[in-house]
Chains A and B, each alone.
Chain A
Amino acid sequence: MSPPRASDATPSVGNEHLARLLTMVPYLLAHQGIPVDRAAVDLGVTTTELVRDLALLFVCGTPGHLPDDLIEAEWDSGYVHLSNADPLGRPLRLDIDEAAALLVGLRILAELAGPDDREAVNRVSAKLESATAQAARDAGDRVAIALESDPEVLATARDAIEADRVVHLQYYVPTRDEVTERDVDPLRLLVVDGRTYLEAWCHRAEAVRLFRLDRVESLTVTDRPFDPGTSRLPERDLSENLYHAGPDDTEVTLLLEPGAAWVAEYYPSTERSEQADGGLLVRLRTADPAWVVRLVLSLAGQARVLGPVELVAEVREQARAAAARYGPAVGPGSTGSAPGVRPYV
């Protein structure tokens, strides 16, 4: 699946192309001599599209349409020069979607940024709000984003990234229900839908890994520096689950009762089919099926592993061993003290 396109929320209204040109002109007037490819990146178009747009501007102008009335556009040199376009010199007022999207983004940054940046964020918010209609500010206020990160862990991680220091993590791995120890070079904090991930070079795995901050039991900044490199990290494709399926993954088959049907929505499944009795058969792939064991134990009576056989056996053994800890009176072999429990087959 491709990432969601940078498309508009509003169904296409008006002439989008015209809207683009009206935004482009003030930008180019303020950036005389900008390289064509640079302008294309900033404007979010290809260089071909940009050149076509410039050619169109070139034949437009004020009434009369004599050469002196037309917009002057020059780009053959590889640099864009635009003039005689004063009537379009200022951008069209931000609409509600534009203003609200930026205000919501700034609000999130204000919660996440370090002290220095936060000051800049607040300055920008104040400037934007002073130049925005009340309706847009109100609409922005009707979008709330709950951030889950522990502010202290977040601040420590942020400082470590800014100082380029190696970090020692005690990291909880829920699939195995254990805490692991590792050293990482912290690169970036990715906050996706309010959930925070530390993107870091893991010394143990020798690869870039994502660590969920709410699973970090402790985070210690060491005094060892690392070389962060100079290039910006690439934009991560968030259209799929952040943990990608690999070729060596195990295929697990689950049978879900309606009460556990959310599992099919929550975990990316490769196949799903409704059964005659209302159940849902789901196949999914995972690198480490240990979490499936934990899932079906917590969903007993609602979700069941049908395959592979080894995993079925593992659920059975785990369940029996855990039940046995409650003592012989109610342990395996007994069907008595837990009401509603089916006997062993």
Chain B
Amino acid sequence: MSRAKTERQLNLVIALIATRRPLTREQIKTAVPQYGQCPTDEAYGRMFERDKEELRELGIPLVTSSIDPLFDDEPGYRIDREAYAQPEIRLTSDETAVLALAARVWTQASLAGPASRGLLKLRASSADPRDDRTWAVEPRLRTPDPAFVLAWQAVRDRRPIRFAYRKAGSEHESPRYVDPWGIVSSHGNWYLVGHDHDRGAPRVFRLSRIVGQVRADGGPGTVTSGPDGDLRSLVDAAAHIDLDSSVTARVRIRPGSALPLRRRATQDTAAGEVIEIPYTDEARLARDLAGYGTAVLVEEPMSLRTAVLALLMTAAAEHARAGSG
């Protein structure tokens, strides 16, 4: 990064903020010494155009207006001070500490830079936090998925996106065209929730299953629809959580074992040795139960008994000889 460029642009910002009246191109050339040193006027013009563009990319409100209302051929430039400055927030020492903790949520994630810069901006008008404040709870987010940044930007800017997606258990990826509604962190994974154009319905995508690039297809603000309920419930629904299960399994459990199963039980009977688990997806529950080996025994229904037993016998057969098939 060029130090000379930063120095020049900083002088430009100061000149355009300090002035009450718009400055002409010629006045700016005089005001910023580095422009005056340009070999030709064309070189200055190109440099000034690039600098203006970069200031706008940082969100600096550069205003162009005519200098003389009677002759509008000569544009003038200034920075709108009110639009430039962050409205002042005065935080007490305790509140600054809270905001610092909120910023630290992103310490090891993609928005670390923006979070700490936002905090710093607000600290300019706030009391400093006490040094010795410790917190009982320290939340952290992680964003390991390469697709996170572009997914977030699409959600933020309300732009439709296209990407290749590989469904769970599938070897192939398929192209998707989605109006993104939001992103959700759930059970350690990030999900994109949105309207899937090709399927004409809401869909939930795990960011880690997005293959390759996420490309915007449509300008900012194009997505105007939103989810019917809240984002989290859409992700929960997609995760097949057994909310309205009609079938119940009776499972005998070795005392002290299989805590996760007990959590799903509706009823503990016989001093916790037999529990009842509601379910909808038998194959899925059978796999969960098989994992506990001798610690669980399915009593009913018969179909679940058979399914668990089949898994156990398959496992026994597949491990009949060391390293063999």
Chain A contacts to B: CB under 8 angstroms: 3-11, 13-19, 21-23, 26-27, 29-31, 42-44, 56-57, 59-63, 65, 87-88, 90-102, 104-106, 108-109, 112-114, 117, 120-121, 123-124, 127-128, 130-131, 139, 141-146, 148, 154, 157-158, 161-162, 172, 174, 177-179, 188-195, 215, 217, 230, 232, 235, 237-239, 258-259, 261-262, 265, 278, 293-301, 304-307, 309, 312-313, 315-316, 318-323, 325-326, 330, 332, 337-345
Contact = CB atoms under 8 A, between A and B. Distances in A.
Q: What 10 pairs between A and B have smallest CB-CB spacing? A: A105-B102, A298-B291, A98-B118, A14-B57, A63-B31, A6-B112, A97-B114, A14-B58, A90-B85, A319-B316
Interface of B: 1, 3, 5-7, 9-11, 13-15, 17-18, 30-33, 54-60, 83-91, 94-95, 98-99, 101-125, 128, 132, 134-144, 148-149, 152-153, 155-156, 168-171, 181-189, 208, 230-232, 235-236, 256-260, 287-288, 290-295, 297, 305-306, 308-325
Given A18-B9, A146-B186, A318 B109 contact: no
Contacts of A104: 105
13 contacts: A9-B153, A91-B124, A98-B117, A124-B102, A141-B182, A142-B155, A177-B295, A232-B134, A239-B142, A297-B292, A320-B316, A322-B294, A343-B317
Contact of A106 (B87, B99, B142): B99
A131 B311 contact: no
Interface centre among A157, A258, A326 (most CB of B within 10 A): A326
Contact of A326 (B89, B305, B322): B305
Contacts of B135: 117, 188
Nearest to B121: A91
A297 B124 contact: no
A31 to B, nearest CB: 8
A100 B105 CA distance: 12
Contacts of B231: 142, 144
A258 B169 contact: yes
Contacts of A102: 99, 102-103, 115, 118-119
Contacts of A144: 182-185, 230-232, 235
A251 B228 CA distance: 48
Given A124-B102, A131-B86, A322-B290, 19 more contacts: A6-B107, A9-B113, A14-B56, A14-B58, A19-B117, A21-B10, A63-B32, A97-B111, A109-B105, A124-B98, A127-B91, A144-B231, A144-B235, A179-B257, A190-B139, A312-B321, A312-B323, A316-B320, A326-B305
A308 B14 CA distance: 69
A88 B7 CA distance: 14
A344 B111 contact: no
Contacts of A124: 91, 95, 98-99, 102
Contacts of B143: 4
A121 B98 contact: yes
B13 A18 contact: yes
Contacts of A259: 169
A299 B287 contact: yes
B297 to A, nearest CB: 5
Nearest to A117: B98
Contact of A339 (B170, B306, B317): B306
Nearest to B6: A17
A18 B10 contact: yes
A316 B317 CA distance: 8
